[in-house]
A and B are shown apart, each in its own frame.
Chain A
């Protein structure tokens, strides 16, 4: 009875008798009025295990929603997500763009009076969201599970060992190209590499596409409104992501902007490098096969000289990634006390990127130093971690880039978005 009175009055004052001094009163549906709830305790435990240990400490004061600069004012996050999570309302969490509009600035976590770490809880929910939407589902579970790490790494190891064994290239010391140099294209011809990575790439793209479309469907269903103007929403989302607009709105972890920017742009640089190398190799081979003399700038199989622009881009991107991922690790350690340290899932991606970058740079350095055995071993591990990064991208934290972008597009297309300048 008391509650009814409160709400009756609240409604009256917000609408009929709105004091003149209230500059902004957004209207939103009451989220829990008259809902019969069946808590999904398994789901709650899964969040707790996935890095949201502090979940139950939340006492719903809403400090988090207020200090968050990324939440829309109308029905803001993450306070409501905290109670959805405590009550195990997974449909409310998953079919909700808000868990991805959160960029884990951790201002909420820093100011949380209870140490409930909303940023970490939402991070755990995001992990589960990736797990839920990614196909095949068992891979989603495996990537999030430290116990499966060995198996996941063993897959590329076995694949590449089979290829090497098949080629009879197990005597690493003796492998040289025609010029007598160490050449990774002599260890495993690019066709074999591409024979593995091209299907992996399409697998990842298709898996992500299916995941995203399933997610989109849930978003539309939960929101009950049709998204509008998806084209412009996509272009503005891409622009925002590239400019890192939302990172700028973080207070505690503002230093992440530069770190993430370096990592993202280095990845873009490395993607261009890869395309460029593909052009060099296959452009050369195709012209050759057609009986024409390949253009002189089509360099054919690697290695390429350090003076070539493709190497400039490759090396700049590698150094950018080195610095970027180092900053990511450093920022996390620096803010650990206030923002939380992140879980296995976060650190897995960080370490894999670190390993990709470290093995890539060392492969080049050892090759230039003419240390054959070491070079080839490192190159082999490079192939393994690159495989890991791409093949498991739909299931690892790497998938954040598509799910978050999807949520941002959806939010813009349904006018549920925060102003970013």
Chain B
């Protein structure tokens, strides 16, 4: 039994990393399974995160360092869980490891990328730019290793990479493999996706170039993003001086996500700050149903931003968006509930404050999940010894996710010791 004091953590974002390192530091062995080629999840994509508004490396670095220093943490990137069987204290887990085509000898010299003839859409930047098919996911990626996208660059295409690499770090013979693990407890920390704006038919249905999601704006505002941190329009690269935020884009909506996604109001307030800092002559308008700034956030962000006369708050949910065919300016249609009636207002760019959709809705995690009436993971209904953390149970910020993840470790310790 002692040999099975192991915990499987599915998801390498802030919640999963925290669960793994806390568990490892409490004496368990932790496996992190991450489907991306890097750890850090959504936090890694954020320009500055709540609530101290640090860049992501300031928080993630610490966790990465703890992982590096702790031999009891094993991580699998490009990995998926195929199945989980058995019971608490004694789970059999099958993992599928997808090939990276790059081994541990990689030093990150970029030679393979320079040699690579093919490009891929950069999902880290939500498709707003392209990278070579041999790429480093982002500048601070951990593990700091390149990866070759076998889908856009099949075997023959990879050959120049192999030739360019001086460190013998390219391995074209890597194949998908399946491995088995035995663990005593499982933690689901697969997190969230921004709600798919293609489903928001009255908000442009994802078809308008200058209507983007809040997460896309994070990438635009990030120095390592597609525009090196300049907030410009996707259609023509023009500086954005007049921007609108559409709150509850898919959240608090029975046709989409029933729950409040907790973070979007704060995100838009933060984005208003990005805008006002970058362009002092810019104007921001936030269309909302209710501005929700729980706890400390109210004083730290809401009142502060409200004092800025160039940030206008309009109560009323946007329910129509049109695009000017020539200028690609975007016009939103809304009822200004405090008095102006049904209005149409035109902006350079519109940001949909899309909410958090559970990743478990789209991909399997090897175990049965039941959902609450709101559509969140019903933690209590999970198999004994399997726990959900972070945004799967309730939309949350980083601080709450980390608290929750840390708390879940005690349950894992109980699970592995119960038998």
Contacts and interface: CB of A to CB of B under 8 A. Distances in A.
Given A59-B289, A113-B252, A113-B253, A66 B319 contact: yes
A66 B340 contact: no
B69 interface: no
B343 A26 contact: yes
B318 A23 contact: no
Given A9-B309, A113-B253, A62 B319 contact: yes
Chain A interface SS verdict (over half): loop
B333 interface: yes
Nearest to A63: B319
Given A59-B289, A66-B333, A66-B334, A25 B340 contact: yes
Given A23-B331, A61-B289, A67-B202, A73 B342 contact: yes
Nearest to B311: A9
A25 B314 CA distance: 13
B339 A30 contact: yes
Interface string A49-71: 00000000001111101110001
B128 interface: no
A148 interface: no
Given A60-B337, A62-B319, A113-B254, A26 B342 contact: yes
A115 interface: yes
A327 B184 CA distance: 61
A23 B344 CA distance: 6
Given A6-B313, A9-B312, A13-B312, A27 B340 contact: yes
Contacts of A25: 336, 340, 343, 345
A10 B337 contact: no
B60 to A, nearest CB: 35
A412 to B, nearest CB: 19
A10 B314 contact: yes
A58 to B, nearest CB: 11
Contacts of B337: 60, 62, 79
Contacts of B313: 6, 9
Interface string B323-336: 00000010101111
B255 interface: yes
Interface string A4-24: 011101110110000101111
Given A19-B283, A61-B289, A30 B335 contact: no
Interface string B266-308: 0000000000000000010000011000000000000000100
A28 B340 contact: yes
A291 interface: no
A294 interface: no
A27 B331 CA distance: 19
Contacts of A66: 316-320, 333-335, 342
A73 B339 contact: no
Contacts of A21: 242, 329, 345-347
B81 to A, nearest CB: 34
B319 A24 contact: no
A59 B252 CA distance: 10
Interface of A: 5-7, 9-11, 13-14, 19, 21-31, 59-63, 65-67, 71-76, 79, 111-115
5 contacts: A19-B345, A22-B343, A66-B335, A114-B254, A115-B254
Interface of B: 202, 242, 248, 252-256, 283, 289-290, 306, 309, 312-314, 316-320, 329, 331, 333-347
